[in-house]
Structure 1
Amino acid sequence: MLEMIHAIEAWLMEYGVWGLFFVSFADSSFFPIPPDVLLIPMGIADPDRVIWYAFLTTVASVLGAIFGWFIGKILGRRVLRLIISEEKIQKVEHYFTLYGPMAVLISAFTPIPYKVFTIFAGISKIPLRVLVIWSIIGRGARFFIEAALIVYLGDKARPFIEQNFTLITIIGSLIIVIAYVIYVVIRKKKKTK
């Protein structure tokens, strides 16, 4: 299975920006390969365009999230059962109940399978604009941080990201959670005035 995934990665790499766009779109709705596997080597190969690649990856990923939302809204839970077990579906459902949009935001930033959350957002009738806003923030943060690391570290970015991705996502998630809490507090204060 791993060999097949690497073969698909190599094949998509041949298509350059179009391959990056496809994998970014598809990862958010149905495909098992994350866009980072193309974004990082493409950015290292052409650091002058890495910010453009991060932007393109974010846009395609958010469009894929919208597609995933429609898959969930139209086809429902039975589609998720094709991707993950019922136990994991219940866990995602639990996260949505507890955290709502924050679940989308955290899944957009971390290595958690984002497609599961976009499809579930459609199933649980989260408003599409909420999915789009939090997807832009989470996916944008993830891909632009990778781009910034490539600009700063050059060829050393790939091993650094591979070795520290968990730490990067934990720190990034904490920053995102803090920003979200501040957003909620400010919003509540505005409503009480």
Structure 2
Amino acid sequence: MASAKTPAAAVPPLEKLGAFQRLYLWTLSLAARPAAQLWLALVAFVESSFFLIPADVLFVPMALARPRQAYRYALVATVFSTLGGIAGYALGYFAFDALARPVLAFYGKLAAFEALRACAGPDTTLLLLTTSGLAHLPPIKVVTILAGAVHIGLGFFVISCVLARGARFFALAFLLRRHGPAIRHFIERRLKLIALGGAAVLILLYFGLKLLTGSGQLLSC
């Protein structure tokens, strides 16, 4: 096995890893458990409101191990990520000061959130929901809470979550089913850059149309 050829020094002991790295490795290890699909549902749910590790970390090795189940896993991840988004929305809408603010402060995202809330209009927030769903830009938890805090319509919120997050998970499922392990390096190293580029193009198109038509609210600050 490949692991037998790896020098022991190449893998740092757990006590030398940072908290984020330990959490990442623990999340990754869930893919090998018998209840991996339930863990995927749970991680997809909590990443939308307070968990630090994206569900992609668990989704990719699961889809590689069982490529015939890839679309099923994509559906599970999309549904529970959307449900988690609704939970984050509720935090922002009903309990921002009591619950959402401490969560954002704990992750060091409060300043970024306040800047977004001060400047983003409702339609801009919907755009951020799309880019965060496609490329985690900004982080999903920040934008779901923001959507509730600025009182985005729940129906539009849910539709944006389903479309953006579904597009991400089903695109990953398609690539993993079609190309198998050979595509994993590309996904881990390059796919996020492509998604970021696509999100940037979407943002530029959006603001360009707004400037040309002179309609809608861009920024409120």
TM-score, reference length from structure 1: 0.84
Q: Report the equivalent of 2:147.
A: 121
Cα deviation, residue 33, structure 1:
1.1
- 2:24–2:53 Cα contact (<8 Å) kept: yes
Q: Report the equivalent of 2:71.
A: 51
Measured in 2, the distance between the counterparts of 1:138 and 1:86 equals 24
Q: Report the equivalent of 1:191.
A: none
Measured in 2, the distance between the counterparts of 1:95 and 1:146 equals 33
Q: Report the equivalent of 1:69.
A: 89
Alignment pair present for 1:103 and 2:123: no
- Counterparts of residues 1-193 of structure 1 (less than 5 Å): 1=19, 2-11=21-30, 13-14=32-33, 15-77=35-97, 78-79=101-102, 80-93=104-117, 96-97=120-121, 99-112=124-137, 113-173=139-199
Structure 2's unaligned 5+ residue stretches are 1-18, 216-221
Letter in structure 2 aligned against 1:10: S
Structure 1's unaligned 5+ residue stretches are 189-193
RMSD: 2.6
| SS at 2:25 equivalent | helix
Cα deviation, residue 13, structure 1:
4.5
Counting matched residue pairs gives 185
Measured in 2, the distance between the counterparts of 1:169 and 1:28 equals 18
| SS at 1:100 equivalent | helix
- 1:5–1:33 Cα contact (<8 Å) kept: yes
Which is higher, the Rg of structure 1 or of structure 2? 2
CA spacing shift, 1:161–1:176, aligned 2, 3 Å: same
Measured in 2, the distance between the counterparts of 1:53 and 1:180 equals 31
Q: Deviations over 1:137-161 (max 9, x none)?
A: 1101111111111012111121110
Question: Per residue, is there more helix in 1 or in 2?
Answer: 1
- 2:63–2:73 Cα contact (<8 Å) kept: yes
Measured in 2, the distance between the counterparts of 1:92 and 1:22 equals 27
Q: Report the equivalent of 2:7.
A: none
Measured in 1, the distance between the counterparts of 2:119 and 2:140 equals 13
Measured in 2, the distance between the counterparts of 1:102 and 1:28 equals 16
- 2:49–2:87 Cα contact (<8 Å) kept: yes
Letter in structure 2 aligned against 1:44: L
Letter in structure 2 aligned against 1:3: R
